Structure 1
Amino acid sequence: MAPLLADENIWKYNIIAIQELWRNQFQTTTYHLVKDRFDLVYNEQPNTRVCFFINSQLRGAWTHTHHTLDLDTLHLQFKNGKEARIVHIHNIYNLVESQNENQPSTLPDLRKALESDREEEHLLIGDFNLHYPMWGGVQSRKTSEEATDLLELITDYHLELLLPVGTKTRQDNGEPSTIDLVFGTWLLSESIISCGLTGNDLDHNSDHLLITTLLSLTTTRHPERKRRLWNQLREKDFQEETINKAIEHHCPESQVCPRSVPGWTPEIKAAQMHARRLHRQFQLLRTKEAWEEYRAARNLKGRLIKKLLRKNHWEQIQEATETQSGLWRLAKWARNRQPRQSFTPPLRVDLGPMKTQTEDKIALLKENFFPQMKEADLSDL
């Protein structure tokens, strides 16, 4: 998700719906370093599997509903002539049938969401994990039992498949399959310009290929924010003129974007492009040698990205600890993090016996870190 959200080609999208996302180990959230460009809609619960990234220019034009960990709905306001209407965009993850023993299907919850706004426009997007010739094509070799439930839902709510039949959306070492789907109500389907695979290598090593759905809708958009590049300020001219005039005349402006924070180095960019080339080569050749070359390049890119993110994290901590206010902000951040399970090893003093019980460890630490103070000698006052 880090290279995806840092990719300039993704910034032009208004709404990004993700399934099976990366989850933070310390907070109930996901990766989000582009807060100035996208707003995150995330169900702050453990094991959440869907989320939206919404372009900041659409602020004020949408609301959302968290139904379950696997179903989110975005209610987007748009204009149909002079009439204001709402399209409900449902982001769905349906667990694989073979893993569905303790996890119920998402389709009953989806049916409830559709029923609550039955007379309005609906767009269904997500990973359904279901195989059926209606969307996989006549050459589809698999048929899922649960697919009949989806077929009934399609019929009951007059939904149309917007993705071309037979589009292969999942690439794996095995046979490609069609399990990522897009459905729309028949009124909304008239506003569809196109729906298909995205291309431009935006999958960033995911085994699922991205789908772009282009709609002809008019929504309220907010102007892009800008900020000053103070590192390019011409100080001599600034001192000769008034502050306000100098800012307007001598300080260039820049659009706020993910590059405003520590971004990719040329080494990471080169590794990213190399991994893309080998990914395309593997998709064409489908040989073990091509797969090993691609896997090595992908792992190298991943290590470089992790190293960069870790470096940025420690630089932020170092910067925060340089001032008293920064320390307080860092303390507040630490308090808001979820506790992690920890273990204190056995302790002892010098060659004394090992302390393994919790109470003994506490007493030993207290004795060493908080020793009793000696009484002051007041005889020569």
Structure 2
Amino acid sequence: MNAHHPTWGGIGTKADREAEQLLEITNEQGLEATTEEGKSTWTRNDQSSVIDLTFVSSSLLDRLIQCERADDIEHASDHFPVRTVLDIETPATAQQMRRNWNATDNQRLVKKIEESLHARDLSQGDIQQIEAECKELLEAVQSAIEDSTPWAKPSAWSNPDFDEACKATVNVVRRLRRRHTRTKDPYDWMCYSEARNRKTRLIKKTLSRAHRRRVQQVIEDGPQDMWRLAKWARNRDGAYEKGITPSLKIQDPQIPGAIAEKN
């Protein structure tokens, strides 16, 4: 931001109108400036200035460990990189178990529900009786589901970072594509295109964030885990933990299909 103010430029810096407007906006949004006062972040020839600014929300100010000009990082620019460290641990998202509804034994499901339910006349029933009956119905359905529907077993080739939000947006795009194929309506094509672009951005962002989190965890665990990760990359041979690309299934036994055979 090409804005100058004593708050980050230090004593003697002349405040300009853009900086005053910026401070008004940050105050309204509850942001605090953490840029080192008076330490230039831009330099060219004999000129220097503090124009690369860092702001954090008030709730994160107590977790700020450091915000400094990173002179130790190589950069091919007249702007210095700025290192900001916050005391935050991002928990990994736990993958929820789900039922494999396609494998439901429908006859067993219906039979189990019929055995558990008993018809009662609630025409004169009070609120407590109706609520008790609803609770009994829910328990009967849940018990029948547990008895007739197995848990889904994720494929060894599935990517655990491809979460439910990614799957949901893929389903939305497929549904819109089928609708456009059926109607050939320009509006349906526009809806499909917008949803497809959102899907691409969401999946890319989700997988990139998961990859960064995994690499950061390896770095924090020390050199031993880093070497273990390198060994995994060299020796992967099939399952997700050893690579996400399945081996080829081919008819000709003379052509190698597995990674180990190719090596």
> What TM-score, normalized by structure 1, do the two folds share?
0.25
> What TM-score, normalized by structure 2, do the two folds share?
0.36
If each structure's helix is expressed as a fraction of its own residues, which one has the higher value? 2
If each structure's strand is expressed as a fraction of its own residues, which one has the higher value? 1
Higher RCO (C-alpha 8 Å, min separation 6): 1
